[in-house]
Amino acid sequence: MEFWRVPFDSEAIEVSRGIVYIIEDRCKGCGYCIEFCPKSILAFSSRFNKKGYHPPELLDHDICVNCHYCEIICPEFAIYSLPAPLEKTG
């Protein structure tokens, strides 16, 4: 992140990190999670699921900020994020 003035406590603030889980066979390929992820780290995979849709996959799992937006916009209960274990942050 770029700052025009570096906050005094920027060293102390930890940006949260998440791990995304995808329950592929529930996905119906609407693409909402892909379109609205603030970090743009999701994309359609080339795989097909049981129903013939392309579920999303993670492009870069190191920059998920665990905002849960993919989880709450998904109409299918097919994707969610959990906090990454501490050693994975930073």
Whether the CB-CB separation of 64 and 39 falls below 8 Å is answered with yes
Nearer of residues 68 and 87 to ligand SF4, judged by Cβ: 68
Q: Which does 84 bind (CB under 5 to 8 A by kind): another protein, ligand SF4, none?
A: none
- Site for ligand SF4, rule CB under 6 A: 18, 20, 27-33, 37-39, 41-42, 55-56, 64-70, 74, 76, 78-79, 81
Paired residues of 82 in beta bridges: 19
Could you tell which of another protein, ligand SF4, none binds residue 42, using a CB distance below 5 to 8 A set by kind? ligand SF4
Closest approach of Cβ 4 to ligand SF4, in Å? 24
Neighbour-count burial of 30, counting CB atoms closer than 10 A to its CB (0-12 exposed, 13-18 middle, 19+ buried): middle
Half-sphere exposure for 3 (CA within 13 Å, toward CB): 7
53: tokens are 């849709």
7/39 with CB nearer ligand SF4: 39
